[in-house]
């Protein structure tokens, strides 16, 4: 049986057992209690790397009337959901070991469909990690001096991992699902200090540029009410919310209305090659650089994010992006006060980790992060 057929038949089997969106209910914890993590990365010197366990943050999810996850329905989509995890156990631990040797003290795990949520098993795909598997890997990271931080992206531009719930945004079933998976993740991670909630790039224009066939973007009070609900749920479980800051690029009110408890992660990859100086960068990226200053003036804690992913202008010029994280660290230390600068993060933005070229790009990103933090 082919992989797509396997997933489709599994989905049918789950439905036959009564496991699915229509019957998923918020229940009490069914997760055995675990001890807190044994490692805490020092605030002010966080050296984080973002790794993607799930990959369906960049896809459309076919509806039941389209055929759900049948091979036929998936073929109709330009942004197809992935039906399996792209990490072997060996490759995951190789990356963790490499990161530890480079002085990385935090790994942010973009979970998506990569973790089996006890409250919503229907979100799993082939190879999804069990609760026991995730806890074993968290322990493995802690033993190597790395704090594990969960990430779930609640942006409508990156919520294909939610399956059918991605078509129910701002409804009661949607809110219940969000509450359920946040509770599950907090319990599985042993009460993490931080919880990354994503929320980047939620704009209809972005989704159209990505060739999405399902366009959904909240604005105004719809966005604010849902955002604040997610933050409240995270904080209710004792974690601190952490988010991408680009909503502020397009909405000046963000700097006043966003709770100061939320860790801000403005990301800048110098895609237009205009540089890191807010006074001399005359490209459209100026607003991104300026956001670091606005966040500092507003009193937010920050963890700036860089990447070795190559932006459009840099690709045109053939110059790569190896210099980005180093220049970002220099700019961040100059712009953000010690009181509010919590550290930095490298995001290689590579998804298929069992591909050799992709794997090497992640290792290169870790090398660049190590070099940058030595400055």
Is the pLDDT confidence value at 354 over 50? yes
**Does 24 fall in a domain?**
no
Query: In whole angstroms, what is the distance from residue 126 CA to residue 2 CA?
Result: 12
- Tokens 């943050």 correspond to 57
Confidence of residue 11 (pLDDT cuts 50, 70, 90): very low
The answer to whether residue 19 is domain-embedded is no
The better pLDDT of the pair 7, 185 is held by 185
pTM of the model: 0.92
What is the pLDDT at residue 29? 53
Question: Is position 10 within any domain?
Answer: no
Has residue 18 got a pLDDT over 80?
Answer: no
The predicted model gives 12-34 an average pLDDT of: 51
CATH number at residue 51: 3.20.20.80
Q: How far is CA 212 from CA 75, 82, 179, 203, in A?
A: 14, 15, 26, 12
Rounded to whole angstroms, the Cα distance separating 300 from 261 reads 8
Q: Is 245 inside any structural domain?
A: yes
CA distance 339 to 342: 8
Is there a domain that residue 292 lies in? yes
Phi/psi of residue 40, each to 5°? -130, 115
**Number of domains, the chain:** 1
Token pair listed for 164: 């059918």
pLDDT at 16: 37
| Percent of the chain at pLDDT exceeding 90 | 88
Position 37 in a domain: no
Spatial CA neighbour of 73 closest among 176, 213, 177, 188: 213
Task: Give the Cα separation of 165 and 175 in Å (integer).
Answer: 9
SS3 300: coil
- Contact (Cβ atoms closer than 8 angstroms) between residue 170 and residue 227: no
Which tokens hold the place of 207?
């989704």
Q: Tell me how far apart the alpha carbons of residues 166 and 169 are, in angstroms, rounded to a whole number.
A: 6
Q: Cα-flanking dihedrals φ and ψ of residue 261, to 5°?
A: -70, -20
Domain enclosing residue 109, as ranges? 43-373
Host H or E run for residue 264: strand 263-265
Helix (H, G, I), strand (E, B) or coil at 155: coil
For 219-228, what is each residue's pLDDT tens digit? 999 999 999 9
235 lies in some domain: yes
Residue 2 maps to a domain: no
Give the CA distances from residue 254 to residues 25, 140, 239, in Å, rounded to whole numbers and listed in that order.
33, 38, 21
């Amino acid at each position: 049986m082919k992989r797509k057929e396997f997933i489709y038949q599994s989905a049918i089997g789950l439905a036959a057992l009564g496991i699915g969106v229509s019957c998923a209910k918020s229940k009490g914890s069914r997760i055995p209690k675990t001890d807190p993590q044994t490692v805490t990365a020092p605030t002010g010197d966080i050296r984080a790397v973002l790794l993607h366990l799930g990959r369906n943050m960049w896809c459309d999810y076919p509806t039941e009337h389209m055929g759900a996850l049948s091979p036929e329905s998936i073929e109709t989509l330009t942004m197809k959901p992935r039906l399996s995890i792209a990490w072997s156990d060996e490759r995951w631990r190789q990356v963790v070991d490499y990161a530890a040797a480079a002085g990385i003290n935090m790994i942010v795990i973009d979970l998506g469909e990569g973790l089996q949520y006890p409250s919503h098993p229907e979100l799993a795909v082939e190879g999804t990690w069990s609760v026991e598997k995730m806890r074993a890997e968290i322990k493995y990271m802690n033993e190597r001096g790395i704090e594990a931080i969960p990430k779930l992206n609640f942006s409508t531009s990156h919520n294909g991992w939610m399956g059918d719930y991605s078509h129910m945004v701002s409804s009661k079933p949607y809110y219940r699902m969000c509450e359920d998976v946040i509770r599950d993740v907090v319990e599985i991670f042993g009460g993490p200090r931080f919880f990354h909630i994503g929320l980047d790039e939620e704009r209809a224009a972005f989704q159209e540029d990505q060739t999405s066939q399902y366009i959904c973007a909240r604005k105004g009070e719809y966005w604010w009410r849902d955002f604040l609900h997610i933050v409240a749920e995270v904080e209710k479980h004792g974690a601190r919310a952490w988010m991408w800051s680009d909503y502020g690029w397009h909405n000046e009110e963000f700097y006043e209305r966003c709770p100061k408890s939320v860790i801000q992660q403005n990301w800048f990859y110098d895609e237009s090659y205009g540089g890191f100086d807010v006074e001399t960068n005359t490209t459209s990226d100026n607003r991104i650089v300026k956001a670091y200053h606005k966040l500092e003036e507003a009193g937010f804690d920050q963890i700036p994010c860089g990447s070795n992913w190559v932006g459009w202008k840099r690709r045109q010029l053939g110059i790569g992006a190896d210099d980005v994280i180093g220049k970002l660290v220099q700019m961040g230390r100059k712009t953000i006060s010690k009181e509010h600068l919590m550290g930095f993060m490298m995001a290689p933005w590579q998804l298929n980790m069992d591909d050799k070229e992709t794997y090497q790009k992640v290792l290169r990103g870790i090398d660049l992060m190590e070099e940058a933090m030595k400055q």
